[in-house]
Structure 1
Amino acid sequence: MDPHNPVVQLCARGMRAEAEGRGTDARALFQQAWESAGDDYEACVAAHYLARHQPTPRQTLHWNLECLGRADLVGDDRVTGFYPSLHLNIAKAYGDLDEPGKAREHFELAAAHIDAVPPGQYADWTRMAIAEGLRATGATGPRAADALLTALLTTFRERGDLKALGLILPAYLADLGREEDRVRLATALHMVHAARWLPEDEQHTLGKAISTLTDSSARAA
């Protein structure tokens, strides 16, 4: 976003107020940004931040949908990277309204646009949030390997094996159900398995998880 744009500057001031715990000031600044918006792009930006300060899930959804509609009207590269978070926010709003079907639809749309976000910490966070939503709404479907992996990750945490956690957990949390995500997860599992530093029982469980995940991927193909 253009840091010299007056609407963007108002939203930046609003975010500073929010970080300082001044919620009323933040909402006022976002409202001012909305009222100052001179085109669909500026309205899209302002609506995104206004959605953060609504008293009910229904109003939050309204502003998130407003943001999405304005982004569609802009329709150029300025908003391409917005879509994953737009759909993610809409999905969360539908979840808060106990509408899991619509939530799942927007989690899937968020996943479909994730490659538009430049690589980095924000992309990683967004991907993990989408993956969590997909799992919670059943969009990725149950996997036989999940129970084994969850048990292993819990054991690594309890045992303080940060090396194993660091290799496997990011790939597991960021799995959007796509083939490339499954390959990334399988690669991380194989790396830990090949290093053979785990206790014998964990090594065995990891091998079983790899076999189960591989079998599931082969059936899906």
Structure 2
Amino acid sequence: MNPENPVVQLCAQGMQAEAEGRETDAHALFRRAWESAADDYEACVAAHYLARHQPTPEETLHWNQECLDRADRVADDRVKGFHASLHLNMAKAHQDLHHPDQARAHYERAAAHLDDLPPGPYVDAIRFAVADGLRTTATPAEGPLTDLISRWCARGDLRALALVLPPYLGDLGTDEDRTRLTTALHMVHAGRLLPRDEQRALGRVLASPAA
């Protein structure tokens, strides 16, 4: 985003106010940004920040939808990197309103736009959030593996977690992601890093058709 753009500057000031705990000032600055927007691009930027300061899930969804609609109207390279985040925000808003089908649809759209973002911590954070959303809206939710990972977290089994958590948290359900996760699970199993009962449980996970 162009730091010289007046709407962007207002949003940056709003984020500074937010970081300082001045929520009322932040909301006022984001509202000024929205009222100052001269085109769909600027309105998209302002709506994104306004969505962060709404009192109800319904109003949060409204502003996230406004943001996405404006980005769709712009439809050029200025917003190409926005869509993964915008669909993630829509998914979370729908999930807060207990709309699991709509939430999952937006998580899937967010996943489809991840390749629009350059490598780095930002896209990793979006990927992990999208993967978590896909897991929480899955039917049925994953059972045995999730239970095993919870047990490793509870006792701080860093060796198993170091191998499995990165591919698990970033799993979007693609063949490549599933292969990466299965490889990590095989490494834990082959290394005999677990207590006997967990070793057997992991063996059953790996033997299941989904593994």
Q: Quick one: distance in 1 between partners of 2:91 and 2:150?
A: 28
Structure 1's consecutive aligned runs of 4 or more residues displaced over 4 angstroms after TM superposition are none
Partner of 1:174: 170
Mean Cα deviation higher: 184-193 or 20-29: 184-193
Unaligned stretches of 5+ residues in structure 1 = none
> Which one-letter code corresponds to 2:197 in the other structure?
D
Partner of 1:194: 190
Helix, strand or coil at the partner of 1:61: helix
Q: Quick one: distance in 1 between partners of 2:201 and 2:98?
A: 37
Q: Quick one: distance in 1 between partners of 2:179 and 2:12?
A: 39
1:208 aligns with 2:204: yes
> Which one-letter code corresponds to 1:71 in the other structure?
A
Judge conservation of contact 2:84–2:126 (CA < 8 Å) in 1.
yes
CA shift for structure 1 position 86: 0.7
CA shift for structure 1 position 46: 0.7
Partner of 2:28: 28
Helix, strand or coil at the partner of 2:2: coil
Q: How many residues align?
A: 211
Unaligned stretches of 5+ residues in structure 2 = none
Partner of 1:66: 66
CA shift for structure 1 position 91: 1.6
TM-score w.r.t. the length of structure 2 is 0.91
> Which one-letter code corresponds to 1:176 in the other structure?
L
Aligned alpha-carbon RMSD (Å) = 1.8
1:88 aligns with 2:72: no
Partner of 2:152: 156
CA shift for structure 1 position 44: 0.8
TM-score w.r.t. the length of structure 1 is 0.87
> Which one-letter code corresponds to 2:51 in the other structure?
A
Partner of 1:142: 140
Identity %: 65
Q: Quick one: structure 1 residues 95 and 199, their matched pair in 2 at CA, closer, same or farther if it must change by over 3 Å? A: closer
1:13 aligns with 2:7: no
> Which one-letter code corresponds to 2:189 in the other structure?
H
CA shift for structure 1 position 104: 2.0
Q: Quick one: distance in 2 between partners of 1:79 and 1:194?
A: 45
Q: Quick one: distance in 1 between partners of 2:199 and 2:99?
A: 41
1:75 aligns with 2:75: yes
Q: Quick one: structure 1 residues 200 and 98, their matched pair in 2 at CA, closer, same or farther if it must change by over 3 Å? A: closer
Q: Which whole-Å deviations, capped at 9, do the CAs of 1:158-199 have from their partners, x for residues lacking one?
A: 332212112211211222222121111112112222333333
Helix, strand or coil at the partner of 1:192: helix
Judge conservation of contact 2:91–2:102 (CA < 8 Å) in 1.
yes
Partner of 1:3: 3
Judge conservation of contact 2:160–2:193 (CA < 8 Å) in 1.
no
Q: Quick one: distance in 2 between partners of 1:148 and 1:118?
A: 34
Q: Quick one: distance in 2 between partners of 1:25 and 1:78?
A: 28
